[in-house]
Structure 1
Amino acid sequence: MSSNANNKKSYNLTPTVPIKDWDQYVWQSYDQIASELQDRISRSPRRKTVLVVECYPTVRQEEIIQALQSRLNLTKVIRSEQAAMPGEQIKALIQRYLTDDRVFGYMSPCTVDEFYSRELLQDLKNEADTVEDGLVVVIGFGASLVAEGDILVYADIARWEIQQRYRSKEFGNWRLDNREEETLRKYKAGFFFEWRMADRLKRQLFSRIDYYLDTNAKDDPKMVTWDALMAGLRQTASQPFRLVPYFDPGVWGGKWLEEKIDLPPRENPYAWGFDGVPEENSLYFQYGSVRMELPSINLVFFQPRELLGDRVYARFGAEFPIRFDLLDTIGGGNLSLQVHPTTDYIRSTFGMNYTQDESYYILDSKPGALVYLGLREDADGEAMLRELQLAQEGEISFPAEQYVNTYAANKHDHFLIPAGTIHCSASDCMVLEISATPYIFTFKLWDWGQIGLDGKPRPVHLEHGEKVIQWDRTTSWVEKQLVNSIVQVGGGAGWREERTGLHEFQFIETRRHWFSEPVLHEANGSVHMLNLVEGEEAVVESPSGEFEPFVVRYAETFIVPASVSSYTIRPSGPSEGGKIATIKAYVRS
């Protein structure tokens, strides 16, 4: 049985993927890591060894240096970033991508070598070459530019941990000397510039890496051979799995996540649950007694065909195009009244290839819960924009109901939200958001007078929003096209399948299954992302024994790679004999 299945019959906060047959290729602690590196060095007939430690930005390089210096006999340490351009010069070069906006930039095509001086790189190469005997360590983001090395270690870090280091002001962005800058701007620089550049380098080094180093936990590193990491990625891409979820507070946060998922109480309530965003979430790999954390985007980069399917990979490249997350307003406030950019606008303005189409699946709600969706038939666009501007200036409270439709939000309703449609979840909804991956492109139109947790008004982007609002999406169109457009498409003894969306403008298809007996799901050329939306527990099984039974619980999101030829889902544990439901998303043909 997968380690996802344990005796605790509740939401699993630490799902792991057990990696078979590679336990002897993992090391935990700097003592073990140094011992393995020393053993590797001692097997070489050369008098001199160059150890290159290529680092993702915000890796604690000094921790690694001090650990190696105290355990290995280092002849020289070369910090590669001594050859990087000064921060002010880099900032000037990338300003067109960063822009002056607090939230939005433009997707940068930059590579790390553009920000290194060729002359200074040569100086560092010469410095390494002059050493004739002993161990030379070259370390930094860009260390692989200095030397190919005899041993290449890749030091990695999960995206969520990077954000924590931004928030604590331990780190700013690479070379920008902005540790004290607000987190929004640091995240923007990461999203549009730094992480794109670092991911390009990671993928470029794919065939050269000897060891992979997990640096997420302070002074608690884990290292595996690259072959062991790749074996883990291959195993994961051949079976159902879950990402490691994380939860974040927000001004409109509710109480559902804290109560239903058993999260520790916070002064500011949880607003978001990220349980299906491969670009942000991580994976836990269990090698024997050692649990390693890695960015889940690595699976997309290094197993794209097996994970996504050839058809999806051909269309999107090594990018996971579907996103599931949770939005909790039960006992909280309203989300911002918002709109997402059209494909044409997001491509021309931000350099993205596709846009943030989405939907709200109501996982739970309280009586009186509402969703705002589309414009009223009698909405006057010019008047609406004028009042939104006055509201932004603090002159009035925007009368949203005069312009925007409201619909009762009941459990298991599904509201479709193609880009350009005004929308918002109001208080007392627990939303499972099923969306395309570009996830930060929300143009807030009105934020109900809320102040961000940083004490500042949250950014409102009327100047973008007014350019993408689709003014013809009014009441009659919305009710016909976007509200509970649910059709039964299959069924049998103990089960039925419903098409619940998304809209024809969107590339994602969603199917809901209600069942008390096992339901067979067949591969269709696309990765599947699912959530158990009704019932306490289900088990995912392979009819042909391709993978071990995999247990999921209420509200958990899980992924079935395209390489899985077929699978069944049945009620299990406390749900045996009862009726449960999943919702599944995939990329349409």
Structure 2
Amino acid sequence: MSFMFKPLAYDDLSAINKPLLSSFVRSAIVVGNENVAEKIIGSLGQFQKPVVLVDGYVGSNFVNFVEQLQKQISGKSSKGFDMKDVYLSEEKINELTKSNLPLNYDDDPVLLFGSLFDGKLEDFIDYEKLKTMVRAIMDFDGVSIVYGHGATLEPLLEIAAKVVYIDISPKSSAIRAREGKFKNIGDNETRPFNALMRRNYFVDFEIVIHQRKKLIDKNFIDFYIDGNWDDEYKLLPFGALKELLGTLVKYPFRSKPVYLEGIWGGEYIRKVRNIPMDISKNIAWIFEFIPMETSIVVDVNSYKFELPFATFMTFEGKSILGEKAYESFGGYFPIRFNYDDTYHSDGNMSIQVHPKGEFTRKHYNEKGSQDEAYYVIATGHNAKTYVGFRNDANVDEFIELAEKSQSDGSDVNYKKYINGEASIPGKQFMLPAGTIHASGQNQFILELGSLTIGSYTYKIYDYNRKDKDGKPRPIHMKNAKKVLEYNRNADWVRKNIMIEPILTKECEDFKEYIVGDTNLMYYQTSRVELNTRGIYSSNNNDQFTVITLVDGEEIEVYSKSNPDFKFTQKYLEIVVIPANITDYVIVNKGYQPAVVHKTYLKPNFENYIL
């Protein structure tokens, strides 16, 4: 997924994790700009000429933070050293990243795609300038504060008294980008939003995340800052943060959702969660748990401490995924979860296709295939899911008509060519890469996806719609034709990716069915139908499970071995049961039956990684 689609500035405060924390962690949090700055500066007492390094995630407000620190310095002079002064020139960095951001308007009309940069922050540094900066720091008789991306590179770490890391959520970063509050690394001017975010996705985020992981793995950070709100910083010493996350990973947990508008957006989630109309009238996507895009909020002494989920993964990835999955997926959470809302909307999602692993690795330097899955949660009248071609379809004719539509705006009778399946709550469609598909109007879908850092959706036909600026929405026919599986028709769909539920367990309290399984994807799904007050138990088998309450009111999920490690889950909330919870229990706490959707890796998942 991609924040190229611009997240709504709506803060959903329902997703708060409340693990039982030690008094050490609870007493360690420092809140408020003055208090945070005082804590950091107060730790420098024994140093004659202290050097403070302030690094952080893309979009962090370094200047504001340094100003807060300098206000707390007394009895000594202070000086700020900006990492911008030691970067290579903008021209050299652009040349270095040129192949990652190709200007290929044929394949990519509005320049959404790119190739992941596989270098490091060090590649952006002029080391002669850095040596000059280090000499100036050593010569300065006072408190030196080095700030910006790369402030924690090796020559600076060697002279540091304290290291501070400012982390913000991907959502905060995207909103600040939209507001023009920061530049890409090494740039002299702020790029337009789409260009800035494209560079972020394929370059800046990659190198900054790599540096953050290095600092965490080597315990180089002294003070970790929740910098999501410039007027209220929150601080945890590194040891307290480490203990907090080591405690949280013993519990089922939930990430904080992000909401996005879209031309086909619907009404379902807005009504369920009482989102005000002035926030948006057409919420299309809900990033309920997109691992690289969402954050984790933890109650620490009644304060909401927020950090990117990716940071949590850096600390506790093996405990979350299980060692086998952690190694196989390179430390990334391998499945993403979002909702697609077309309920009471005016149209379908675009007819589209996604690329396979061989294609994404070659063209985008990605991890694997972009497979997806749709699980139908709620529908209105005449709802359909479009998947595969009709058995009688002339596929070449459809492609020709779609190409003609792209050039002259003519309408295509897509229903003559695309297989439409009646959408019924509880139906699961597995959508391996190469399969043509679209979620039809008037339904609310749980969408699953495989591991790709970016989003690669090739639109084939979009009903000649225009975006909110009145411009035609982009079509990606050239790439679509390269990855589209022409032979996946209705018969193939019903045989391979739309199975009838398979009953696997049944007792007085529940029934469990496998609802999604195909040999073309590395995860599968089940549905647990709980009777009123029903109890269900299962084993994680040294992996993780993700559960979604898709019908009903409230459930409680907890570790069978440690019942105090629990989470109370409401309708449509998505909860991760980490691998280190060996066995877990789900209890229906509502006054009516409940249905839980389960997603998990196949036992031999490594054989399916594409």
Place the TM-score, normalised by the shorter chain, in its bin: over 0.9
One-letter amino acid matched to 1:425: S
Equivalent pair of 2:54/2:62 in contact (CA under 8 Å)? no
Is the counterpart of residue 79 in structure 1 residue 82 in structure 2?
A: yes
Between the aligned partners of 2:560 and 2:214, the Cα distance in structure 1 is: 38
Match of 2:383?
369
Matched, 1:297 2:310: yes
Q: Indicate which of 202, 208, 213 corresponds to 2:212.
A: 202
Paired AA for residue 249 in structure 2: A
How many angstroms does 1:178 deviate by?
5.6
CA distance in 1, matches of 2:282, 2:21: 39
SS at match of 2:368: coil
Q: How far off its partner does 1:54 sit?
A: 1.0
The answer (yes or no) to whether the contact 1:239–1:546 under 8 Å persists in 2 is: no
Stretch moving more, 227-236 or 545-554: 545-554
Within the alignment, does 1:124 sit opposite 2:133 as a pair? yes
What is the SS of the residue equivalent to 1:392? helix
Question: Is the CA contact 2:385–2:438 (under 8 Å) kept in the aligned structure 1?
Answer: yes
1:143 match: secondary structure:
coil
Q: Are the aligned partners of 2:19 and 2:565 in contact in 1 as well (CA < 8 Å)?
A: no
Q: Which runs of 4+ in 1 moved over 4 A?
A: none
The answer to whether structure 1 residue 282 and structure 2 residue 273 are counterparts is no
Q: Are residue 37 (structure 1) and residue 36 (structure 2) matched? A: no
| Residue 513 of structure 2 corresponds to residue 510 of structure 1 | no
Cα distance change, pair 178–456 in 1 and its aligned pair in 2 (3 A): farther
Deviation at 1:369, TM superposition (A): 0.5
**Structure 1 residues 185 and 402: alpha-carbon distance in aligned structure 2, compared to 1, 3 A threshold:** farther
Name the amino acid aligned to 1:416: M
Instruction: Quote how far apart the aligned CAs of 1:180 are.
Output: 4.5
Counterparts of 2:283 and 2:396 in 1: how far apart (Å)?
Answer: 36
Distance in 2, matches of 1:180 and 1:54, equals 22
Shift of 1:159: 0.4
- CA deviation after TM superposition for structure 1 residue 18, in Å: 3.8
Aligned-partner Cα distance in 2 for 1:353–1:549: 33
- Residue 43 of structure 2 aligns to a residue whose secondary structure is helix
1:3 matched residue in structure 2: none
> Which secondary structure does the structure 2 equivalent of 1:144 belong to?
coil
Q: How far 1:394 moved relative to its partner?
A: 2.9
User: Which deviates more, 383-392 or 425-434?
Assistant: 383-392
The corresponding residue for 2:119 is 110
CA contact (8 A) 2:15 2:254 kept: no
CA-CA distance at 1:69 after TM superposition: 1.9
Question: SS where residue 118 of structure 2 aligns?
Answer: coil
Deviation, 1:177, is 4.6
Query: TM-score normalised to the size of structure 1?
Result: 0.94
After superposition, residues 233-312 of structure 1 pair within 5 angstroms as 233-265=245-277, 266-312=279-325
Q: Distance in 1 between matches of 2:259 and 2:302?
A: 26
Amino acid at match of 1:358: E
Change (3 A) 1:586 1:263: same
- Alpha-carbon contact 2:50-2:161 (below 8 Å) kept: yes
SS in 2 for 1:41: coil
CA distance in 1, matches of 2:13, 2:127: 49
Cα distance in 2 for partners of 1:178, 1:537 equals 50
Asked if 1:583 is matched to 2:597, the reply is: yes
Find the aligned partners of 2:285 and 2:188 in 1 and give their Cα distance.
Answer: 30
The residue aligned with 2:467 is 452
Q: Which residue of 2 aligns with 1:151?
A: 162
Q: Tell me, in whole angstroms, the C-alpha distance in 1 between the residues paired with 2:558 and 2:48.
A: 54
SS of the aligned residue for 2:236 comes to: strand
Are the counterparts in 2 of residues 58 and 174 from structure 1 also a CA contact under 8 Å? no
CA RMSD of aligned residues (A): 1.6
The separation in 1 between residues aligned to 2:90 and 2:416, in whole angstroms, is: 49
Alignment check: 8 A CA contact 2:250 2:565 kept: no
Instruction: State the 1:507 CA deviation.
Output: 0.3
Q: 2:501 aligns to what?
A: 486
Deviation at 1:458, TM superposition (A): 2.6
Q: Measured at CA, do residues 85 and 392 of structure 1 come closer, stay the same or move farther in structure 2, by a change above 3 Å?
A: same
Aligned position for 1:495: 510
Q: Which moved more, 1:303-312 or 1:437-446?
A: 437-446
In structure 2, how many angstroms separate the alpha carbons of the residues matched to 1:80 and 1:171?
A: 14
Q: Which amino acid aligns with 1:171?
A: F
User: Residues of 2 paired with 1:17 and 1:120: CA distance?
Assistant: 46
Residue equivalent to 2:178: 167
Displacement of 1:19 after TM fit? 5.7
Q: Deviations over 1:394-435 (max 9, x none)?
A: 341122112110111121111111110000011101001122
Structure 2, unpaired ranges of 5+: 1-11, 604-610
Q: CA deviation at 1:482?
A: 2.2
CA drift of 1:195 comes to 0.7
Pair 14,255 (structure 1): closer, same or farther in 2 beyond 3 Å: same
Cα pair distance change 1:557/1:138, threshold 3 Å: same
Query: Counterpart of 1:452 in 2: which secondary structure?
Result: coil
Q: CA separation in 2, counterparts of 1:125 and 1:355?
A: 45
Count, aligned residues: 572
Q: Deviations over 1:152-204 (max 9, x none)?
A: 001111101111112222234223356351x3333222111111110110111
CA positional deviation for 1:456: 2.9
Secondary structure, in 3 states, of the residue corresponding to 1:367?
coil
Aligned counterpart, 2:570: 553
Alignment partner of 2:264: what SS? coil
SS at match of 1:217: coil
Work out whether 1:526 is the aligned partner of 2:543: yes
Paired with 1:260 and 1:217, the residues of 2 have a C-alpha distance of 27
| Counterpart in the other structure of 2:492 | 477
SS of residue paired to 1:466 = helix
Contact 2:113 2:198 (8 Å CA) reproduced: yes
Give the 3 Å change call, closer, same or farther, for CA 81–17 of structure 1 in structure 2: farther
Deviation at 1:307, TM superposition (A): 0.5
